[in-house]
Amino acid sequence: MEISVIIPCYKSSSVLKTVLAELKLSLDEISYEIILVDDDNSLDEKMILYDLEKEFEYVKILKLDQNYGQHQATYHGCTMAKGKFIVTMDDDGQHNPEMIRKMQDYLITSEKDLVYARFIKIQEDIWRKVVRKLLRNSNKSKSSFRIWTQVINEKLIDSGISNKLIDKKLAKLSPSIGYFDMLHRKSLLKKSRYKIKDYLKYLKQTF
């Protein structure tokens, strides 16, 4: 297995088929798996996820027993990943699947353990922009579009992340971290799933 793509899913079933179709086009020449982490969605959302698992042979569903949030959901997905390289990305179409192989090539040629997407221009709602600016000013801004090696993944699984952000743990486990510049895409979702309190909780976890 060359690549495992982990996508935490929450209230995004309306756009996931588009995301999966793009991934298929981008990764079709290699062996890969896509792990959709069901972060305690509604029954209707769950049914769509399982329909997608039937439609796309490379898709696997990991069902969580409660809503853990993006970072914990991502970590749970890592425990299932079998690929030589682990990719994480959002479920709303903001991350371009065409960049995955380019990020992989950069990670290999630059001998990095972990590579983050670094977006040239961000297209997102006002509260996410505020949070991102605060984190950038504190040197804590990290993208959820990332790739790392299975060696790092095994260390991550062994150490766990408790209730902390996954990037804090990755920073400790990865001796060499790189950044790959790319354009950011607008979310396919018409309405944000997050409230102000969610952003405040994220800030609290970060510092």
Confidence check: pLDDT of 6 > 90:
yes
What is the Cα gyration radius of the chain?
16
- Give the pLDDT score at 130: 55
User: Across residues 90-114, what is the average pLDDT?
Assistant: 97
For tokens 């996954």, what's the residue? 166
- Give percent of the chain with pLDDT exceeding 70: 82
pTM: 0.86
Distance from C-alpha of 165 to C-alpha of 38, rounded to nearest angstrom? 18
Residue pair 131/199 in contact by the 8 Å Cβ criterion: yes
> Of 85, 92, 95, nearest to 117 (Cα)?
95
> Of 56, 207, 202, 50, nearest to 139 (Cα)?
207
- Give the pLDDT score at 125: 54
> Of 144, 51, 44, 136, nearest to 92 (Cα)?
144
User: Across residues 87-99, what is the average pLDDT?
Assistant: 97
Confidence check: pLDDT of 118 > 60:
yes
Distance from C-alpha of 70 to C-alpha of 75, rounded to nearest angstrom? 9
**pLDDT grade, residue 191 (50/70/90)?**
low
Q: At what angle do helices 13-27 and 43-55 cross, to 10 degrees?
A: 20
By DSSP bridging, strand 114-119 and strand 85-88 are unpaired
pLDDT per residue as tens digits for the range 60-72: 999 999 999 999 9
Rounded mean pLDDT of the chain?
87
Q: Is 66 left (phi over 0), alpha (psi -120 to 50) or beta?
A: beta
